[in-house]
């Protein structure tokens, strides 16, 4: 096979064999060029919610291509964008009033940070600090790398990154330390916004914390007049058991970022939802107060049509029941590993389950990670461990038997990986 000219993401090509090509997708499965079916146990990087090629969403895409391709969104609007925005405001936490479109989770967060800084700048208030949580991940653009955890992901780009203030992750019995640190940052009077992944930090290791802590952070933000940005790119669309994770803390963020499941995973699209106050801070006869952000493909009509269809699926199909069934299946399957000495920190939040394989050297670059990934693929499973952290986040159409197979295989692969590591 000739070496491909394609450069793949998060891939060290010197260590990886040539990529298999996927020929088709359907439901919870990918089918490769050799006809092998692969259970997509991580929803193709957390984007596929209802399953691959959901018929309602595919039909909406086909229909949209008969009318649209791309429309300049700085000059015109279109029906799909308007309908999707109305639908998003309808399902979002009460109080969010405006929708700004972009095309990825990273750009949704970039937009949010710029909105927050613009909000205070346009009012002549000198606030310029962003507070984040350690181990967080918000994307791979320069702004989102700046707000994410510093380390191997972004060491080469350090000269480009701006400084932020970091909260300690709220480990059990240390939650007050996190709240106290945020309070101290806010007392400086310079904090523009807190940017946070609500309830669970994804790429940082599937680290889970409680809704009470999240509500406490929001209360402090309100007391000090700083904005609260919820990065719901991963946590939205039912992943944590509710439509948005913020609902579990009973709060409305000032800005909410969503992508991934926004189109059911079918097409790239993102949205940043904001309160009326944030919109109004940019509303002026002074053109210098314009919100200066765009991309060429903002609010692509075909992607927006997929988003509208996704909302229809949520309205017309028993998605919540599927989520509840998946939560129960995770819980029952995790029980088998509770007393297994090979694993630690068995955890679950909604449709996300994770456990840590105990190895001498953990972390994202743990050698056991790529080894396990290859073993899973050999057994017809798409699972990408975060180093020694194993997690499952399947589409909602996955069956009980398919999920049981994934858990069976975790035990088998862990045994082989540990033996190899010795």
CA distance 138 to 86: 26
User: What confidence category does residue 373 fall into, taking pLDDT thresholds of 50, 70 and 90?
Assistant: very high
Coil, helix or strand at residue 361: coil
Contacts of 233 (CB under 8 A, 6+ apart): 105, 108, 109, 138, 139, 257, 258, 259, 260, 270
CA neighbor of 189 nearest in space, from 223, 231, 143, 146: 223
Using CA atoms, how far apart are residues 77 and 195, in angstroms rounded to an integer?
Answer: 30
- Is residue 170 over pLDDT 70? yes
Phi, psi of 73 (to 5 degrees): -85, -10
Q: Is the pLDDT of residue 1 over 60?
A: no
Which numeric CATH code is attached to 319-421?
3.90.1150.10
Q: 9-53 pLDDT, tens per residue? A: 999 999 999 999 999 999 999 999 999 999 999 999 999 999 999
Contact 213, 175 (CB under 8 A): yes
Say how many CA atoms lie within 13 Å of 290 toward its Cβ: 6
Distance CA 400, CA 394 (A): 11
Q: How confident is the model at residue 382 (pLDDT cuts 50, 70, 90)?
A: very high
pLDDT tier at 3 (50, 70, 90 boundaries)? confident
Read off the tokens for 79: 């029906």
* Nearest C-alpha neighbor of 93 from the set 248, 277, 315: 248
Separation CA 378–CA 181 (nearest Å): 46
Average pLDDT over residues 127-138: 97
Contact criterion met (CB below 8 Å) for 169 and 201: yes
Of the candidates 7, 6, 35, which has an alpha carbon nearest to the alpha carbon of residue 23?
Answer: 35
Question: CATH 3.90.1150.10 residue ranges in the chain?
Answer: 319-421
Distance separating alpha carbons of residues 176 and 159, to the nearest angstrom: 33
pLDDT at residue 190 greater than cutoff 90: yes
pLDDT at site 362: 84
Share of the chain above pLDDT 90, in %: 96
- Which has more pLDDT, 392 or 422? 392
Where exactly does CATH 3.40.640.10 map onto the chain?
Answer: 57-316
| Three-state SS at 381 | strand
Q: What is the mean pLDDT of residues 189-212?
A: 98
Task: Kindly state the helix (H) or strand (E) to which residue 97 belongs, with its residue range.
Answer: strand 96-102
422 class by beta-carbon count within 10 Å (0-12 exposed, 13-18 middle, 19+ buried): exposed
386: β partners = 389
Q: What is the pLDDT of residue 8?
A: 96
Cβ–Cβ < 8 Å for 75, 66: no
Of 3.30.2130.10, 3.40.50.300, 4.10.80.400, 3.40.640.10, which CATH number belongs to 57-316?
3.40.640.10
Adjacent-strand bridge partners of 196: 230
């Amino acid at each position: 096979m000739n070496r491909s000219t394609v450069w793949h993401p998060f891939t060290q090509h010197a260590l990886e064999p040539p990529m298999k090509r996927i020929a088709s997708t359907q439901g919870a499965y990918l089918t490769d060029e050799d006809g092998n079916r692969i259970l997509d146990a991580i929803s193709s990087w957390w984007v596929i919610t209802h399953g691959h090629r959901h018929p309602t969403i595919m039909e909406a895409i086909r229909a949209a291509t008969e009318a649209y391709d791309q429309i300049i969104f700085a000059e015109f609007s279109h029906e799909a964008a308007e309908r999707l925005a109305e639908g998003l405001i309808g399902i979002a936490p009460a109080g969010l009033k405006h929708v700004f479109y972009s095309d990825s989770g990273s750009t949704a967060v970039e937009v949010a940070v710029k909105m927050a800084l613009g909000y205070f700048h346009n009012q002549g208030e000198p606030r310029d600090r962003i507070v984040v949580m350690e181990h967080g991940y918000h994307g791979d653009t320069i702004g989102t790398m700046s707000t994410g955890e510093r380390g191997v992901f972004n060491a080469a780009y350090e000269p480009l990154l701006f400084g932020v203030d970091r909260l300690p992750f709220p480990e059990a019995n240390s939650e007050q330390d996190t709240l106290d640190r945020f309070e101290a940052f806010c007392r400086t009077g310079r904090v523009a916004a807190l940017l946070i992944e609500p309830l669970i930090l994804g790429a940082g290791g599937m680290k889970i914390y409680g809704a009470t802590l999240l509500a406490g952070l929001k209360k402090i933000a309100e007391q000090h007049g700083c904005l609260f940005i919820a990065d719901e790119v991963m946590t939205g669309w039912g992943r944590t058991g509710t439509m948005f994770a913020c609902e579990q803390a009973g709060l409305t963020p000032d800005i909410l970022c969503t992508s991934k499941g926004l189109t059911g995973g079918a097409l790239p699209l993102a949205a940043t939802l904001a309160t009326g106050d944030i919109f109004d801070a940019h509303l002026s006869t002074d053109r210098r107060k314009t919100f200066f952000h765009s991309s060429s493909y903002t609010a692509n009509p075909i992607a927006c049509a997929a988003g509208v269809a996704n909302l229809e699926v949520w309205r017309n199909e028993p998605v919540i029941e599927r989520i509840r069934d998946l939560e129960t299946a995770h819980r029952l399957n995790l029980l088998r590993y509770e007393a297994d000495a090979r694993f630690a920190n068995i955890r679950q939040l909604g449709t996300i389950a994770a456990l840590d394989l105990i190895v001498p050297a953990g972390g994202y670059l743990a050698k056991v990670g790529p080894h396990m990934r290859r073993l899973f693929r050999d057994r017809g499973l798409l699972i990408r461990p975060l180093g020694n952290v194993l997690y499952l986040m399947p589409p909602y159409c996955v069956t009980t038997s398919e999920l049981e197979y994934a858990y069976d295989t975790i035990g088998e692969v862990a045994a082989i990986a540990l033996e190899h590591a010795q």
